Amino acid sequence: MRCRCCYVTKTCPTFFSKDDMTALKALYGGTFDPVHYGHLKPVEILANLIGLSKVIIMPNNVPPHRPQPEATPAQRTQMLELAIADKPLFELDERELRRDTRSYTSETLRDWRQEQGPQQPLAFIIGQDSLINFPSWHDYESILDNAHLLVCRRPGYPMAMKEEAHQQWLERHLTNSADDLHHSPAGKIYIAETPWFNISATLIRERLQQGESCAEMLPQAVLSYISQHGLYR
């Protein structure tokens, strides 16, 4: 049997046992208006690459003074439930939707860290577009105090940060070793070699509004739900 981090056989000093592989817990936040294959497929590949056995999807709440998702929180949740029904990798956590304040990732991860204890390896999954904008997130530096960042590639976005100071911050935290993620509680950034999926919720909403097909972009069960509920017209 080969180690999942370095592919060396059992002689690897940090060989992943099955228990090790279940150790790292990952959270995946977003609006999911609606959920699509650009959300799901890169993360399934990432999970295989680094040996993640569970990904917790956490749809976020958008407060009243911000542009609202077109679907309600309940509809976004129901679409997610349909999308992951046959995918045991994923589970859903609705805690951010139960709050009526803005969902700040830094605060959510602080709470999660308190629940999980100081040693538990935790990670937050984002796409490449989110990495580029990450320094504009509320209290972004504290996020790495509580979790690793796992980044999936996304077409149309640069991999370098816009400002030199942010690029240095990125390089200070970068790792290309899955082993680092499993054996430390937080603080690393891992950019995964996931394939590009040129799909966004914005594109899907626009195409649906124009009566164009999105059959290749999201699960059929979610498309049927959208049609039954007259969403994104």
Using CB under 6 A, list all residues that contact ligand ATP.
30-33, 38-39, 42, 126-127, 129-130, 152, 154, 197, 199-202
- As measured in angstroms, the least distance from the Cβ of 35 to ligand ATP is 8
- As measured in angstroms, the least distance from the Cβ of 223 to ligand ATP is 15
- Other beta carbons within 10 Å of 93: 16
Residue 3 or 46: which CB sits closer to ligand ATP? 46
DSSP one-letter code for 220: H
Measure Cα distances from 69 to 93, 202, 210 in Å. Answer: 18, 10, 18
Helix 220-228 × helix 73-84 angle, to 10°? 150
For residue 120, give the nearest of 180, 191, 175, 183 by alpha carbon: 183
Residue 16 or 197: which CB sits closer to ligand ATP? 197
DSSP one-letter code for 34: T
Residue 42 or 185: which CB sits closer to ligand ATP? 42
Residue 33 or 179: which CB sits closer to ligand ATP? 33
DSSP string, 93-157: --HHHH-SS---HHHHHHHHHHHH-SSS-EEEEEEHHHHHHGGGSTTHHHHHHH-EEEEE--TTS
- As measured in angstroms, the least distance from the Cβ of 152 to ligand ATP is 4
For residue 123, give the nearest of 58, 59, 216, 209 by alpha carbon: 58
Residue 134 or 169: which CB sits closer to ligand ATP? 134
- As measured in angstroms, the least distance from the Cβ of 29 to ligand ATP is 7
- As measured in angstroms, the least distance from the Cβ of 131 to ligand ATP is 8
